[in-house]
Amino acid sequence: MPKINIGGVMEEVVTSEEFTLEKARKALKNEIVAVIGYGVQGRGQALNMRDNGIRCIVGEGDFNWQKAIDEGFKPGETLFPPIEAAKRGTIIQYLMSDAGQKAMWPELKPTLTKGKAIYFSHGFSIVYKDQTGVIPPSDIDVILVAPKGAGRTVRDNFLAGSGINSSYAVFQDATGKAMERTLAVGIAIGSGYLFPTTFEQEVYSDLTGERGVLMGCLAGVLEAQYNVLRKHGHSPSEAFNETVEELTQSLMPLVAQNGMDWMYANCSTTAQRGALDWKNRFRDAVAPVFDELYDRVASGKETAIVLEVNSAPDYREKLQKELDTMKNSEMWQAGAMVRALRPERRKK
């Protein structure tokens, strides 16, 4: 496995060039991968494995049962109720929601017989075992591959031929082949580059990122700038374009291509100077918030909220109300209008 040096830190990474798809197929030739939960991550990973020639079955309840059928999984052959699929599988991909994993665990655990592997894409259930009760038997492998993107991105990147970055970890190696299983499934689900982590590091970074830059902080900062521009008389179109549209359609693709410094170098000198002058002020302003956020994640306070709220019987209804509030706000109504006016959409 190649090692890379980033700022003096050596990391051992795996790419699809060293651990090829053909090698993954050989490693998994006697395995049946049972994907429990055809939701956000389960769908993308299941479809990618199936397309890559891996023996893959799906375990799903009523919620996404028809969706799995519509996408080619056959009841009684490759689609089963969750516990039935787990009984049939040798590698059990436990891809329910975190609250769902806690609820199903008493039923699922007896299906984890000697020599099987349970696979996670999130360290939540294992790291916060005192809250979830998820403690695997000692005679199975416990492994993780965590794609650095939503399940939809896992699938879209695969179809585009680009793959996705994923982290990987082995928590328990009972069979002596846990690492080979981990890397094989990691490649089979469409990862082009895998980097090592631990279950603990994965969940701490993931929960911090989701609440921070990736979603929570991003949405909050966008709203703040939009509101300031509107308060000073800028139109909804102008406020949205200067806040969101230029960010997502122009600047972030430049960052993705070659980095933040390259994006700065390819903007106007006025933008460069202002951004460099204000960058550190924003960093210093939010640093205490990130310290508090990380501490709450590491202490289990954030996960306790997740398990309580997401386990409520009316969770989906309450979630939809919150999302509708966002959707119907002036800012995101302006966004819908702006997106509809993009040239590629007007041509349809």
Share of the chain above pLDDT 90, in %: 89
Best CA proximity match to 201, nearest among 167, 224, 227: 167
- Looking at the 3D structure of the chain, how many domains does it have? 2
Same-domain pairing of 98 and 215: no
Mean pLDDT, residues 113-136: 97
Q: What is the 3-state secondary structure (H, E, C) of 277-344?
A: HHHHHHHHHHHHHHHHHHHHHHHCHHHHHHHHHHCCCCHHHHHHHHHHHHHCCHHHHHHHHHHHCCHH
Share of the chain above pLDDT 70, in %: 98
Same-domain pairing of 187 and 298: no
CATH classification of the domain holding 276? 1.10.1040.10
Flag whether 173 is in a domain. Answer: yes
- Give the per-residue pLDDT at 7: 74
User: Where among 156, 174, 197 does a domain terminate?
Assistant: 197
Flag whether 336 is in a domain. Answer: yes
Same-domain pairing of 173 and 56: yes
Mean pLDDT, residues 64-79: 97
Q: Which sequence positions are flagged as catalytic?
A: 122
Q: How far apart are CA 64 and CA 49, in angstroms?
A: 18
Same-domain pairing of 12 and 155: yes
CA dist 284 → 293, 310, 328 (Å): 15, 33, 32
User: Where among 171, 197, 223 does a domain terminate?
Assistant: 197
Confidence grade of residue 100 (pLDDT, cut at 50, 70, 90): very high
Residue 347 clears pLDDT 80, i.e. is over it: no
Same-domain pairing of 287 and 249: yes
Same-domain pairing of 172 and 227: no
CATH classification of the domain holding 84? 3.40.50.720
Q: For residue 120, which phi and psi values (nearest 5 degrees)?
A: -120, 155
Confidence grade of residue 215 (pLDDT, cut at 50, 70, 90): very high
Residue 151 clears pLDDT 90, i.e. is over it: no
Same-domain pairing of 182 and 223: no
- Give the per-residue pLDDT at 348: 60
Same-domain pairing of 218 and 186: no
Flag whether 204 is in a domain. Answer: no
For the question of whether the overall pTM of this predicted structure is more than 0.85, the answer is yes
User: Where among 140, 171, 197 does a domain terminate?
Assistant: 197
- Give the per-residue pLDDT at 11: 79
pLDDT, one tens digit per residue, over 298-313 is 999 999 999 999 999 9
pLDDT, one tens digit per residue, over 156-196 is 999 998 889 999 999 999 999 999 999 999 999 999 889 99
Domain that holds residue 280: 209-346
Flag whether 203 is in a domain. Answer: no
Same-domain pairing of 64 and 177: yes
